Amino acid sequence: MKKDELTLVRQIRDRFSFSEGVGIGDDAAVLNFKQPVLLTTDLMIEDVHFDLSYTSFYHLGFKIVSVNVSDIYAMGGDFKAFLFSAGIPETVSEEDFKELFDGIENALKHYRGFLIGGDLSKSEKVVLSGFAVGEASEPVLRKGAEPGDLILITSFLGLSSAGLNLLKSLPDDKRKVIKSIKDFKKYPPIIEIDGINELLQRHLMPVARNPERFKHIAKAMMDISDGLLIDLHRLCEENNVGAEIYLEDIPKHPAVIEVAEYLNIDAMKFILSGGEDYELLVISERNAQEFGLTAVGRIVEEKGIYLVHPDKGKIPVKPEGWQHF
């Protein structure tokens, strides 16, 4: 990139206006809140969280917003504003830089929030750091689950990790095509599996699940970012309880099953331990099918996570999922 930092910041600022307070361009942003404020941050680093051979800067911009908004939604909150810092290698083109902010802008339009600040730096690898701000009159915490409560999920799991594994298996020419896609729904299937683009989109440009309609029935809630088992384990630890998962009740997305067969990987690995779906894990006293939620297990007194097989019975499992260290 040839543009200097002052010019870049001015362009970004002109693009993202914010009329309800002080936005980009001062030492700090200024916002007014009437309810408790929610604050969260998530980091995405090249070659750790994403691979630029099949991920476009547009995807990255959209995703860094989604993963942060997901944490606000997981608290039952309303998303308000976003701060965004980036480390950008000198080799990144002005076009890619623009696409990054196109992705951010479209995600912010979708979630109805504002970009209000950030920081730009040089870097060897692409580094994206997002910071989401929201509010909630009554935040829903991870704490609150009790034995007997149902474990609900908002939709199919494993799509993102099935998508990721498929992406890794693709040759260069297909990767290039995927980088060019902005709307996966409108694009013909990239390989001959029904619903395959949904999996790719879920990995590259996930959309956070808004619990607005059902948060009132949630005693505890969190987003499933590192995989069902590990995230459920975290929630259980927080509440000094355990959990049973009924394998028969877990919804299985046909494309996840097909990709698993295609790659010769156990589909349940994607579903139980695959990260980055950004569905919600909802703990409730009652079922909530009317809101599209699916009950897949129950909170129990005995600590630990247990898988209940239809024939083999109850088996304790180690929580597995995405861990960095």
Closest CA to 122 of 68, 84, 96, 85: 85
Q: Binding its own copies by CB under 8 A: which of 109, 112, 122, 216? A: 122
Segment near its own copies (CB under 8 A); pick from 55-63, 140-148, 176-184, 187-195: 140-148
| Interatomic CA distance for residues 131 and 109, integer angstroms | 16
Is the Cβ of residue 26 or residue 248 nearer to its own copies in the bound state? 26
Q: Binding its own copies by CB under 8 A: which of 142, 209, 215, 219? A: 142
Give min distance, CB of 283 to its own copies, in A. Answer: 13
Q: Binding its own copies by CB under 8 A: which of 14, 51, 119, 285? A: 119
Calculate the alpha carbon distances from 137 to 204, 216, 273 in Å.
32, 12, 32
Size of the site for its own copies (CB under 8 A): 74
Phi-psi region of 229 (alpha: psi -120 to 50; beta: other; left: phi over 0): alpha
Q: Binding its own copies by CB under 8 A: which of 24, 107, 115, 127? A: 127
Q: Binding its own copies by CB under 8 A: which of 11, 15, 85, 96? A: 85
Give min distance, CB of 168 to its own copies, in A. Answer: 17
Residue 132 within binding range of its own copies, rule CB under 8 A: yes
Burial label, 4 (beta-carbon count in 10 A; 0-12, 13-18, 19+): exposed
Is the Cβ of residue 87 or residue 189 nearer to its own copies in the bound state? 87
Is the Cβ of residue 22 or residue 317 nearer to its own copies in the bound state? 22
| DSSP 3-state of 217 | helix
- Which tokens is 103 given? 């992705």
Which parts of 225-284 interact with its own copies (CB under 8 A)? Answer: 230, 234, 238
* Binding pattern for the stretch 18-57 against its own copies, x by CB under 8 A and - elsewhere: ---xx--xxxxxxxxx--xxxxxxxx-x-xxx--------
Segment near its own copies (CB under 8 A); pick from 128-136, 164-172, 240-248, 287-295: 128-136
Which parts of 193-212 interact with its own copies (CB under 8 A)? Answer: none
Backbone angles phi, psi at 298, to 5 degrees: -145, 145
* Bind-site residues for substrate: 49, 276, 322
Which parts of 62-81 interact with its own copies (CB under 8 A)? Answer: 70-72, 74-75, 77, 81
Residue 233 CB contacts under 8 Å (≥ 6 apart), including other chains: 305, 319
Residue 226 CB-half CA count within 13 A: 15
| DSSP 3-state of 129 | strand
**Cα torsion 182, 275, 101, 4: sign:** negative
CA Rg, the chain, in Å?
20
Segment near its own copies (CB under 8 A); pick from 115-123, 164-172, 201-209, 243-251: 115-123
